[in-house]
Structure 1
Amino acid sequence: MSVEETTQKSSASENAWHALDRDDVLQALDTTPDGLSDAQVAERQAEHGPNTVQRNATTSKLAILLHQFTSPLIYVLLIAFGITVFIGHYPDAIVIAAVLLINAVIGFYQEYRAENAMAALANLVSPTARVRRDGEPADVESEKLVPGDIVLLESGSLVPADLRLLSETDLKIEESILTGESAAVSKTIETVSTETVVGDRSNMAHMGSAVTTGRAVGVVVATGADTEIGTIAGQMRETTRAATPLQTRMRHFGNRISIAIVGVSVVVFGIGLLQGIAVTDIFLLAVAIAVAAIPEGLPIVMTVALAVSVARMADRNAIIRRLPAVETLGSCTVILSDKTGTLTENRMTVQQLRVDGSVYTVTGGGDTTEGAIEQNGEPVAIDEASAVYDALRAGVLANESRIRTQTEDNTERIELLGDPTETALLVAGAKVGLHREQLLETTPEIGQIPFESDRQFAATAHKTPDGPQTYFKGAPERIIAMCTDARVNGASEPIDREAILAAAHEMANDGLRVLAVATGAGDRTESESLDGLTLLGLIGMRDPPRNGVPDAIVACHNAGMRVLMVTGDHAATAGAIAKQIGIESDTVLTGADVAALSDEELTEQLQTTSVFARISPTQKLRLTELLQADGEIVAVTGDGVNDAPALKSAHIGAAMGITGTDVAKEASEMVLTDDNFTTIYAAVEEGRTVFANIAKATTFLLSTGVGLVLAFLATFTLTAFGVFAVADDDVFPLLLIPAQVLWLNVVTNGIQDVALAFEPGEPQQYERPPNDPNAGLLSGFLLERTAVAGVLLAVVAVAMFWWQLSTGVSIEYAQTATLTLLVISMALYVGACRSETQSIFEKSLFSNRMLFVGTIAAVAIHIGALYFGPTQFLLGVQPLTTETWLTIGLLAPATLVVVEIHKYIRR
């Protein structure tokens, strides 16, 4: 590729600066190692603009508030409110207004809490940068950097733009915000292949990454939107949050209910006018029917149900930032999980030793000095004469890191300070009694060769009773090449390089990071000759799986969910970890493989491939969107800036609370406070429980609506045939007035609806396939139950109303008796709604104490309203006689009995 062809590619995700040598880069950018002149800087600032990450425009509070009134059910309530005000029924209008206000306040609070992820992304940009302009060093504001600027980096610096490195000394950069891998990466100035993914571009330093050690000089090749961070910001702006299954179901449910309500109301209004009923009366009747059919309490119930699950999930280490995300987990079909820190501990741990012709296993985690050395599953005693002791001693001495012991709450903890690979060696040594500080007291350090990427090893020389001795650790290929002997069966023998390299490759294929350790007499740090060493052995380490992750993977599979590992780590490591935790995959696809596949080919591969390695941010987003396009409900986990677009695009994004960046957290709906995959499965359980509880509450509330609509229509029809008659011919015999309907739906039955949100989950919920996102809010079985309960409620309500009017009481008294019968009937019926299949007699009354107390409270509140002056006026109710109460006692259990019979037959 020519320089011209390369420079035509402006996007950070497409350019190939890493594939050009330094001279070509400088030529293409029209700059020199001495930097740009002031005139060149001014010209380029005008052309490229500031080196900043663009933020999204914020949504105004007024817009958020108005958004709360865009639901179809809310539209119907607003119309009902307007009509009641117009015809002067102010008590009804007050109750309707209260419902609208409650819904708006809850919705506004939840939506306003959603912070702006772009703001957190912008904060990653370093405020200042050290540059060279006109040959002189200077500190400038990072936003004033331009392509062609020469930037000076040192330990502790934040990289202020995307740089092509021109020179470096022992440079290591921590790029977890882009790759997700926490280990610092050694950098070089050598060119790499054009197709190399971001994580392997060893000659590049990207904006937002941090220099951990060393120094470097680099030329700015991309600023602002053209950087890798800028590309991610662009994807964030273009990516919209997927609607949750619950939001989709509620929208469809609301549309259907609204159409049905409007249709019935229009038909009733038209027939009433044809029959000569007064316009005011027919308006009132239409409003009453509309209000009766609207499940006004459903938005409140849904919010409370989600909030209850949020509290439960917080106790299980999952913080939910957006309420609808809770239920999404219950519908999740695919989880795209990061590896490092989520499936694994994010801590390097020595697990295998190959020394003295034998294979040993190191037990215990990477965060504890408790553990043992085992061979064939049996503990092995380690003393100073042991080959294991010699190998670990070399790893402990040829080391620049340290362990610090702290005591908190009478518990001793260790803090690892330094490179993860080196601290893993220190922890392994401590398990056999090797502590670096103590070793240095008896074998003080007298020389050192620090690790460098081109050297591929480190060494320290020590004073011993037998004379100076030097210990080496490094890449197996490099160390083995310097050895002439190897320790075998307690003696030194000529080294079999091919056999040892084959052993190292075998360990690497098992996902282990392999180091070789060796020793040589004398102070080799001052010697020109590094040959003639004795190999002490091979040390294999890995970031081990978290406790409980394999069981959680099995539970996810049993619940019908696939788990895909998507990582920036290497293919061999990813495949080995996947096999260890139970993720089955036909193959491991790398970022290069993914880039070579069309969308159709990749979608097909996604059916059988569950492990993806060396994946770039854009590719992770692509995988997410292809799965969604294929009808999957996708959850994505991540912790870095690189994960943010996929986290935002997914149906639910789960960010890491400990290692996660602010950008990842702001782009997510859920934050895992323990960074543990097992927490995701716990959240799935809560997601299924909350959906089941919302369905139960909807069944309960909708039964009331169906019953009331049928009762109103029956009353309307019977009145037309002269069955109902009242003393005052000018009064239309309404079954209930609108305020009484709202009282029934929101105040009395609404208490029990909310209490259903506290119902504990049932074990069978966690063994079913995920909830079908295309299915309705209610299953066919629950719709049957709704119809059965609704018809029966209508029958007993109309019967009570007719019987009361036939005795010559006022219409207000008949309405009060009918309303009270419905309150008591629903108080009994709610017990049958606690389970789709289990009988009310199989569930303890106290397993949901909130429902038990709420039901008693609902009945008590209603009885109190019958005898309290203000509520008598607002609701138009009166006290009831003993005879009426006895009649209610006979009719009220009918609905519960019939529903239990229906449940038994269908079960």
Structure 2
Amino acid sequence: MPSSAPARCPSSSSRPPGNRPVAEQPPVPAWHTLPADEIAAVLGTGPHGLASREAAERLTRSGPNVIDPVPPPPWYATLLHQFTSPVIYILLVAALVTLALEEWIDAGVIAAVLALNATIGFTQERRAERSVRALMGLVAPRARVIRDGHERDIDSRDLVPGDLVLLESGMRVPADIRLIAVNGLVVDQALLTGESEGVAKSADPSPDPATPIAERSCMAYSGTVVVRGRGRGYVVATGMQTELGAIAGSMRAQELPATPLQERMERFARAIGILVAAGALASFVLGVIVGESPSQMFLVAVALAVAVVPEGLPVAFTIALALGVRRMARRNAIIRKLPAVETLGSTTVIGSDKTGTLTENRMTVREAWTAAGTRPVPPPGSGPAPDISELERLLFVTGVMTNEADAFLTDDGYETSGDPTEAALLLAAIAVGLEPADLRAAPVLADIPFESERQYSASCRTWEGRTAWFVKGAPERIAERSTRMLTADGEAPVDRAAILAAAHDLASRGYRVLAMAWRPLEGPPDLDDHPRDLVFLGLQAMMDPPRPGVREAIRGCQQAGMRVIMITGDHAITASAIAAELSIAPPGAPVLPGPEIDSLDDEALRARLREIAVIARAAPEHKLRTVRALRADGHVVAVTGDGVNDAPALRAADIGIAMGRSGTDVAREAADMVLADDNFVTIYAAVEEGRVTFENVRKVTFFLVSTGAALLIAILASVALQWPVPMVAAQFLWLNLVTNGLQDVALAFEPGEKDVLRYPPRRRSEGIISPLLWERTVVAGIVMCIGTLALFRWELDQGASLEAARTVALTTMVLFQNFHLGNVRVERQSAFARSPLGNPFLFYAAAAALGLHIASLYLPPTQYVLRVEPLPLEAWLRMIPVAASVIVVVELHKLLVRLRGGTPLYRVVVRRP
């Protein structure tokens, strides 16, 4: 037995070696171009396989046949990740400043906020990680090999280059294999190439080294599934050296893009930071100018920073996102990272895999053609079986007689096993009232399996008292072997032109077409001669049907301003037909073939993607380039996929969406979201939840920032007027963390507005707070500032103590917050358009916050910490109507904006050139 070391698979120019030692080998031609004897020589093997000792030595050099797993992040990394938000940075700085000033109470409260935020985020991310890990299970635990000249069953981890592997129906291919012998071998490569149909294999090499993976008929790749037939071949690559391993390595090398929410958060935190610094500096300078001491003004500047920074925002953000995660989980969408919740709501383009996501990943006969005409074929169990003619009966019987699949009835309907095409023929027979088990009871005299060279299969059986050949295959091959055809009036000369025209018409609509024929025999069959002089019966046209509800979900996405692009490994005709049926593109719309992408530069590709909605024959690199081109064109891109071929694009997209049931571990590892039901309809539901989540994040932010704006203006105004500061730092924290802390958390539970999917997605450049809401923030802030300062000054002028006046100012702001909640709940319509009990949690949170504040005025501990005192009834009678004014002013602002068609008022005053 030769003992030369196995060569490294050269089908990709670069392969990640993983974490195992692999000996570097001189390059060799692509495996699919070499004849079998040369493959054996290069790999140092032969028809008797490897010797056990040689295999053990090679295993030491090449390592186990596994994809190097990516371990989950350690708990401390997940915990530290919770402190990477820009707003958290501001809070950390605020905590350090308060510690330096020995403001222990303020520092302790900020520390508690940081701890609560980290706990919520840490718990959610660890739970999501466990859910995804539980879904991972794509393995090929055993393999059949020839070693020491004998057939053995071994752990697939122990496969090495040069092993001779045996393949049979139902097996998952355990490594990359160069086939040297096949017998009707058909492999389902959907997880690698995206093709929905099985691919017939042969042992003949491909002459072109650049042959796409989907067309390398002499190769069987790791992770694919044998649909039918048998084969054997030499292992040419294992583990990370396989095509599956190469894609896994490419995926892990992709840099994770920041989500739109993270980008918005960073811009928002930067704006808050600038605002805090500018306000603090302005207050300090202004105070010194009017004669205050620098030390006193430094304390005022710190108080202003504490007032303006929304300490409760990180907690409210995290809770809003966690609630979105929970709502999505109830709708079969598992979110792995909290910011991904909102990303779907910002998505402008969804690039969807076809097989298994838009379609059911199972073939179904849709039409049957005979010389008597075309009839639709209903799904089995959809109603009473239709009446069929004897001609049509023979057509469906033939589809059962030469068939190796199985179909059986379960509580959930018919389940099938075996080749999807043959399973579709069984279900079609059931749909028209035939029973495959009864038909298959007919004795079998001979079988001819399907081979790509023949393009047909046949079975000779004794049925209903006579012997006959039953034949199915490619229409052109069956037509040329037929001399007669069965019509409604009996047999007639075969009309090959009519047959081929009907087949072409069906194929042009995206169907896979099979022809059926038979030949009754007068005596026993001649088993040395293949059937000929056949009687042509008709055609059965099948297609992988769309999932229920997908068409409606796609239309909903389009109405919500999102484009849906189908990216598939299928042929252009099939892809175009499915796209038209699903309303992704009109019939006859242009299709972008994957190989054409190779000839386009980045700018040309972006231009083409603006015009098309279907990409066919897409390889992994085409999908990745598509994602990058769309993102470079300003889109927020979501990409779905289930195969290892989808992993690089899933990782490069703004949000990668993997399949939980049919998907591979590699795809789930790359994704931000996993669909537990593999259904595109779930994406549409998740888009709605994502938009609702962002709207709630926006409401929380608007609520907190408008309060902060009021406090900022009040402090600057009091310094300019040489008044005492209307509140102390502890009171600012009380406002930010308690009296509005309960409400901002409750806003996260706000139900979505009914028209949330009627508006286009937000632009990536748009901030967390829109220009309209910034304008409303200023309006509300000014109203709350004026009301608070007016009552504060009133108390001082009436001879009240500074502590009493500050208590009035603090309580007035608390009341302003409660009334302002009505403004915040609805961005476009009137606050009175929603019932106060529409969000019971918010109603009770507002009541509880007010109750806590009232209690704080009478309890000695809080009186001491907050520097407050009880208020008389007449003070409440002044504060309540003043606080209610914020609703009146904001309602007027909403009315004016509606009259201007939703345009912010500042754009009316300040015209852009």
Partner amino acid, structure 1, of 2:518: T
**Residue aligning to 1:352:** 367
5+ residue gaps, structure 2, are: 1-6, 17-27, 899-913
After superposition, the Cα gap between the structure-2 partners of 1:447 and 1:136, relative to the gap in structure 1 and judged at 3 Å, is: closer
Shift of 1:372: 6.7
Residue 333 of structure 2 is aligned to residue 318 of structure 1: yes
Residue 211 of structure 2 is aligned to residue 210 of structure 1: no
After superposition, the Cα gap between the structure-2 partners of 1:601 and 1:247, relative to the gap in structure 1 and judged at 3 Å, is: same
Partner amino acid, structure 2, of 1:396: V
After superposition, the Cα gap between the structure-2 partners of 1:606 and 1:144, relative to the gap in structure 1 and judged at 3 Å, is: same
Partner amino acid, structure 1, of 2:806: Q
Q: Is contact 1:402–1:416 with CA below 8 Å preserved after alignment?
A: yes
**Residue aligning to 2:455:** 456
Aligned with residue 238 of structure 2, among 219, 223, 226: 223
After superposition, the Cα gap between the structure-2 partners of 1:711 and 1:5, relative to the gap in structure 1 and judged at 3 Å, is: closer
**Residue aligning to 2:436:** 436
Shift of 1:347: 2.1
After superposition, the Cα gap between the structure-2 partners of 1:153 and 1:387, relative to the gap in structure 1 and judged at 3 Å, is: closer
Matches within 5 A, 1:124-523: 124=138, 126=140, 129-132=143-146, 142=156, 145-181=159-195, 183-192=197-206, 193-270=208-285, 272=287, 281-363=296-378, 365=379, 368-371=380-383, 381-382=387-388, 385-407=389-411, 413-440=413-440, 443-522=442-521
Q: Which moved more, 1:746-755 or 1:788-797?
A: 746-755
Q: Which moved more, 1:653-662 or 1:768-777?
A: 653-662
After superposition, the Cα gap between the structure-2 partners of 1:300 and 1:623, relative to the gap in structure 1 and judged at 3 Å, is: same
After superposition, the Cα gap between the structure-2 partners of 1:621 and 1:694, relative to the gap in structure 1 and judged at 3 Å, is: same
Shift of 1:888: 0.9
**Residue aligning to 1:553:** 554
Q: What CA deviation, in whole Å up to 9, does each residue of 1:368-392 have, x standing for no partner?
A: 322478xxxxxx632xx53212211
Q: Which moved more, 1:742-751 or 1:26-35?
A: 26-35
Q: Is contact 1:56–1:118 with CA below 8 Å preserved after alignment?
A: no
**Residue aligning to 2:909:** none
Aligned with residue 682 of structure 2, among 679, 683, 689: 679
After superposition, the Cα gap between the structure-2 partners of 1:124 and 1:418, relative to the gap in structure 1 and judged at 3 Å, is: closer
Distance 1:676 1:871 in 2: 54
After superposition, the Cα gap between the structure-2 partners of 1:810 and 1:83, relative to the gap in structure 1 and judged at 3 Å, is: farther
Partner amino acid, structure 2, of 1:810: S
Q: Is contact 1:328–1:687 with CA below 8 Å preserved after alignment?
A: yes
Matches within 5 A, 1:825-904: 825-904=816-895
Distance 1:204 1:211 in 2: 12
* TM-score of the pair, normalised by structure 2: 0.89
Shift of 1:33: 3.8
**Residue aligning to 2:795:** 804
Look up the SS of the partner of 2:358 in the other structure.
coil
Q: Is contact 2:359–2:546 with CA below 8 Å preserved after alignment?
A: yes
Distance 2:431 2:238 in 1: 48
Residue 707 of structure 2 is aligned to residue 704 of structure 1: yes
Q: What CA deviation, in whole Å up to 9, does each residue of 1:17-68 have, x standing for no partner?
A: 2233223433444544445568876886676555443344754433333333
Residue 599 of structure 2 is aligned to residue 608 of structure 1: no
5+ residue gaps, structure 1, are: 374-379, 725-732
Distance 1:276 1:625 in 2: 58
Distance 2:443 2:582 in 1: 43
After superposition, the Cα gap between the structure-2 partners of 1:54 and 1:671, relative to the gap in structure 1 and judged at 3 Å, is: closer
**Residue aligning to 1:749:** 740
* TM-score of the pair, normalised by structure 1: 0.90
The Cα RMSD (Å) is: 3.1
Look up the SS of the partner of 1:694 in the other structure.
helix
Look up the SS of the partner of 1:285 in the other structure.
helix
Q: Is contact 1:77–1:291 with CA below 8 Å preserved after alignment?
A: no
**Residue aligning to 2:563:** 562
Partner amino acid, structure 1, of 2:335: I
After superposition, the Cα gap between the structure-2 partners of 1:7 and 1:703, relative to the gap in structure 1 and judged at 3 Å, is: closer
Q: Is contact 1:793–1:822 with CA below 8 Å preserved after alignment?
A: yes
Q: What CA deviation, in whole Å up to 9, does each residue of 1:769-788 have, x standing for no partner?
A: 21001122222211110001
Look up the SS of the partner of 2:804 in the other structure.
helix
Distance 2:142 2:464 in 1: 53
Distance 1:212 1:8 in 2: 24
Q: Is contact 2:803–2:868 with CA below 8 Å preserved after alignment?
A: yes
Matches within 5 A, 1:767-782: 767-782=758-773
Look up the SS of the partner of 1:416 in the other structure.
strand
Q: What CA deviation, in whole Å up to 9, does each residue of 1:614-633 have, x standing for no partner?
A: 21222212211221122111
Q: Is contact 1:348–1:421 with CA below 8 Å preserved after alignment?
A: yes
Distance 1:79 1:10 in 2: 49
Partner amino acid, structure 2, of 1:332: T
Q: Is contact 1:797–1:822 with CA below 8 Å preserved after alignment?
A: yes
Shift of 1:647: 1.4
After superposition, the Cα gap between the structure-2 partners of 1:10 and 1:697, relative to the gap in structure 1 and judged at 3 Å, is: closer
Q: Is contact 2:510–2:577 with CA below 8 Å preserved after alignment?
A: yes
After superposition, the Cα gap between the structure-2 partners of 1:495 and 1:591, relative to the gap in structure 1 and judged at 3 Å, is: same
Shift of 1:527: 5.9
After superposition, the Cα gap between the structure-2 partners of 1:10 and 1:162, relative to the gap in structure 1 and judged at 3 Å, is: farther
Look up the SS of the partner of 2:657 in the other structure.
strand
Q: What CA deviation, in whole Å up to 9, does each residue of 1:721-747 have, x standing for no partner?
A: xxx4xxxxxxxx432222221221222
After superposition, the Cα gap between the structure-2 partners of 1:62 and 1:314, relative to the gap in structure 1 and judged at 3 Å, is: closer
Q: Which moved more, 1:152-161 or 1:812-821?
A: 152-161
Q: Which moved more, 1:238-247 or 1:595-604?
A: 595-604
Q: Is contact 1:120–1:662 with CA below 8 Å preserved after alignment?
A: no
Distance 1:227 1:117 in 2: 28
After superposition, the Cα gap between the structure-2 partners of 1:484 and 1:319, relative to the gap in structure 1 and judged at 3 Å, is: same
Q: Is contact 1:174–1:209 with CA below 8 Å preserved after alignment?
A: yes
Q: Which moved more, 1:510-519 or 1:550-559?
A: 550-559
Residue 622 of structure 2 is aligned to residue 622 of structure 1: no
**Residue aligning to 1:730:** none
Shift of 1:707: 0.3
Distance 2:711 2:375 in 1: 75
Matches within 5 A, 1:65-76: 65-76=79-90
**Residue aligning to 1:728:** none
Q: Is contact 1:834–1:840 with CA below 8 Å preserved after alignment?
A: yes
Shift of 1:828: 0.7
Alignment length, in residue pairs? 876
Q: Is contact 1:470–1:521 with CA below 8 Å preserved after alignment?
A: yes
Shift of 1:827: 0.6
Distance 2:88 2:685 in 1: 34
Shift of 1:543: 1.1
Shift of 1:508: 1.2
Look up the SS of the partner of 2:266 in the other structure.
helix
Partner amino acid, structure 2, of 1:499: A
Shift of 1:702: 0.7
**Residue aligning to 2:24:** none
Distance 2:525 2:738 in 1: 85
Q: Is contact 1:53–1:122 with CA below 8 Å preserved after alignment?
A: no
After superposition, the Cα gap between the structure-2 partners of 1:12 and 1:178, relative to the gap in structure 1 and judged at 3 Å, is: farther
**Residue aligning to 1:666:** 669
Aligned with residue 105 of structure 1, among 107, 116, 119: 119
Partner amino acid, structure 2, of 1:704: T
Identical residues among aligned pairs (%): 48
Shift of 1:650: 1.0
Q: Is contact 1:825–1:896 with CA below 8 Å preserved after alignment?
A: no
Q: Which moved more, 1:290-299 or 1:519-528?
A: 519-528
Residue 523 of structure 2 is aligned to residue 532 of structure 1: no
Shift of 1:596: 3.3
Distance 1:295 1:15 in 2: 63
